[in-house]
Amino acid sequence: MASQHILVLATSTGGGNWPPLAAVTVDLHQAGHTVQCFGDPTIAQDFASAGIAVKVVPAEDTMRTFFERWFGAGASGPSPLQAWAEACLPTVRDLVSHFRPRLILSELFTMPLARLTKEACGLRWCHVNPGYYFGTDSQRPFETDYIGPPGIINRGELTRAAGEADLVLHRTDPFFDPPPPSLPQHHHYVGPLWWERSNEVPPYLDVPGAPWVLVTVSPLPSQGK
């Protein structure tokens, strides 16, 4: 395949939504594609060693800032994801005009921005879903995994946005997440997508003894564990 220009829309807010998209981004970069990321300072730091260009979101426009404003207003009003997307769209449109990508990549929290960018710029869009299938006919209750104050993540909004994506990659397996009989043709299960930021190996892992086993119930990093 000829080298393509690919625009990646990412945020470190949320934690587990971001690593699967990072895995796809790094693989595309290593395969010879020209990748440009729009992300926050944490993502810029994580991608520095991989040599991936990152247009850093201004401090006043990070998603975390929008979440803080939303909670400060009593967790009421428009979704902070949608408000963030609308605020960032002019910057992303300018980035598109200079970078001229053929494709947009997004993760869960950047879906609203990807949808707006597709509408404004006429680009094809691939969404990397970090969890299970969340369509209206999902066999798993939405509230089982996506918990938190109402208004942050709305199943209806996610489902409509995923329906507008040209391709949706689910980073799980049908064995663990049985798909519905009516799985859309542009949805595909691709299995685990592994990526972790570079960190020093904790010294206790080198202590002789039985192998270590990590038991977790979330893709989020477990602080202090």
- The Cα 7–Cα 100 span in angstroms is 9
Asked whether the predicted pLDDT for residue 26 surpasses 80, the reply is yes
Burial class (CB in 10 A: 0-12, 13-18, 19+), 143: exposed
Tens digit of each residue's pLDDT (9 = 90 or more) over 105-122? 999 899 999 999 999 999
Write the CATH number for 111: 3.40.50.2000
Per-position b or e across 56-88, b if 16+ CB within 10 A of its CB: bbeeeebbbbbbeebeeeeeeeebbbbbbbebb
Tens digit of each residue's pLDDT (9 = 90 or more) over 76-95? 878 888 899 999 999 999 99
Question: Does some domain include residue 214?
Answer: no
Bridge partners of residue 35, in order along the sequence: 6
Question: Does some domain include residue 149?
Answer: yes
Q: What does the pLDDT average to over 46-59? A: 88
- Portion of the chain with pLDDT greater than 90, in percent: 42
Nearby residues of 147 by Cβ (< 8 Å), 6 or more positions away? none
Question: Does some domain include residue 37?
Answer: yes
Question: Does some domain include residue 127?
Answer: yes
Q: Lowest-confidence range among 37-51, 69-83, 151-165, 200-214?
A: 151-165
CA atoms within 13 A on the CB side of 55: 17
- The predicted model scores a pTM of 0.85
Question: Does some domain include residue 216?
Answer: no
Q: How many domains does the chain contain in total?
A: 1
Range of the domain at 12: 5-206
pLDDT band at 225 (very low <50, low <70, confident <90, very high): very low
